Chains A and B, each alone.
Chain A
Amino acid sequence: MANKILVFIEQRNGQIKRASLEAVKAANNLAEKLSYEVTAVSVGNEVSDLDKINVQKVVHYKNNELENYSTSAYSDLVAEFAKESDAEILFFGNTALGKDLAPRVSVKLEAGIIMDVVEFNINDGNIIASRPVYAGKALTNVKVNTKKKVFTVRPNVFSLSDEESGSAQVEIKEVSSPNLACKVVEYKKAGGKLDVAEADIIVSGGRGLKEAGNFKLIEDLAEVLGGAVGASRAVVDAGWRPHGEQVGQTGKTVSPTLYVAVGISGAIQHLAGMRSSKYIVAINKDADAPIFQIADYGIAGDAFEIVPALIEELKKVKA
């Protein structure tokens, strides 16, 4: 029998998270090179589309008390299934849930763990995982010395194509008394719409916007682009925007397809959170601002002139 890779499928309100499907993709790529077999495991109550995951088989641990996340119950069940199925490698998405769950599972399996992987290679039969460190200022290639291995993959890196869906056989395992020593009892949705950590397009504003009210421009631009609103620390500290929107070293790390920075100077701690974005656009009236060093396209002008014009132009081409 082939060795196994197990992918954890994360759900919220019964909907599968995109980051998990990206983890499936990364796992399938690796499995092909190693001739391994890929299985998926999920935990929750009712979950849609488990059968559309691109693996042969999905095992779903089910109980209505498991609809919300529980560190204790989820880690027990995933580790138990990993042992039972003798999985050698585990994959998780590097999401808030994945970051909480994967390390606990790794200890139960005595497995080495590598977080936030952006690339996998095989060298002399060893899996070499690449991950950014020092807030993206350096990259490391890391190998796991233990037989069992746990990886979390950075969202938006192993991007999905249409062929990604499959027809999986779903096996439901009813859980009788989950270990709810830690339990999520409530979810409080933030005011904003789309979270920067999950968005494919982000429009961020900085101190160059002068005052909180002017963020309307950023919101409008984000809306025409169908993206999320982000912020620099300067404007979060000033109380213009909530901390949940902060991008950077002490905020969120994002890698969207498009990142638009408006009135942001490009301090090293801000770049730390967004430098791996695929395309970066900078709008800043100072042509020497460091943000232009990493931007693909820049306009060195006044945001209050450029952004409204950009919104108009986008509306035109999208019409």
Chain B
Amino acid sequence: MKIAVCVSHVPDTATKINIGSDGKTIDPNGVTYIVNPYDEFAIEEALKTKEKLGGEVVVISVGNDANKETLRKALAMGADSAVLLKDENQRDSFGIAKALAEEIKLQNAELVFFGKQSVDYDNSITGQLTAELLNYNSVSVVVNLNIDGNKITAEREIEGGKEVVETSLPVVITAQKGLNEPRYASLKGIMAAKKKTIEEKEAVAANLFVEVVEMKKPAPKQAGKILGSDSSAVSELVKLLREEAKVI
């Protein structure tokens, strides 16, 4: 079975964000990029599935040359091949999904992993959009997955608990923390990854369905009052919560 994993290349979550000169995107200066944290769970699950059921794992990313770093990391973890779908311009999630769907079709992958969310725009939709474009089943925010022949049983995290979902291949799974413990790339894996080539092609054209018109910093929150350093401050706190904040 061919297994695809879609990965995004995002600013490190600890990065300080500055707005770029266009006023619509971030200033990339001094920003460190990493594999999207949730995509590491997606890669791990794909590798585990391959180890159990056989098959081949291809990682796919839409973006520019910088994304190769993330693809290389997935290869070092153990993916068999990598495809970069190139576009120098910013795409919206729909444009990314369209490019991914096209490639997944070409690859003939019936099991596709995504992260539940990219930690840049925090959309959490690309997996579901791609599934719909491919007419595949999908389960999002998955913390437990079982594949038995054609049958898929997945647990997804929801408010207050978990839902157990039954479906079948072909399927898109979006990975949530808790699904597994991503492995570290071994030295051997890193060496092997250096020898693998990343296939590059143009991403299929797509219209911008949505468009950022402005990006700005949120209004800074005024640091509040420190009311004291021991329990004598408690009665004032409760008074403020009652009278000023009116929350109790």
Contact = CB atoms under 8 A, between A and B. Distances in A.
Contact of A133 (B122, B158, B207, B231): B122
A144 B137 contact: no
Interface stretch (B42-50, B55-63, B182-190, B235-243): B235-243
Contacts of B233: 299, 301, 306
A184 B225 contact: no
A276 to B, nearest CB: 8
Interface residues of B, number: 80
Q: Is the interface of A mostly helix, strand, loop or mixed?
A: mixed
B121 A145 contact: no
B20 to A, nearest CB: 10
Interface residues of A, number: 91
Interface stretch (A21-29, A159-167, A186-194): A186-194
A318 interface: yes
B139 A71 contact: yes
Interface string B138-161: 111100000000000001111111
A45 interface: no
Nearest to A308: B231
A250 B177 contact: yes
Nearest to B174: A100
A177 interface: no
Given A301-B229, A317-B248, 11 more contacts: A138-B218, A140-B212, A141-B215, A142-B211, A195-B161, A250-B38, A279-B245, A299-B234, A301-B230, A301-B231, A309-B231
27 contacts: A103-B125, A106-B94, A107-B133, A112-B210, A113-B129, A113-B210, A133-B121, A133-B215, A137-B218, A138-B19, A138-B218, A139-B216, A140-B121, A141-B215, A142-B212, A182-B139, A188-B155, A189-B160, A195-B160, A195-B161, A244-B157, A249-B119, A275-B221, A278-B245, A296-B225, A296-B245, A306-B231
Contacts, number: 261
A95 B163 CA distance: 14
A108 interface: yes
Interface in A219-244: 225, 243-244
Interface of B: 11, 13-14, 16-17, 19, 24, 26, 37-38, 92-94, 97, 119-125, 128-129, 131-133, 137-141, 155-168, 177-178, 207-218, 221, 223-231, 233-235, 237-238, 240-242, 245, 247-248
Nearest to A299: B233
Contacts of B210: 112-114, 142-145
Interface string A280-311: 11000001000011111111111001100110
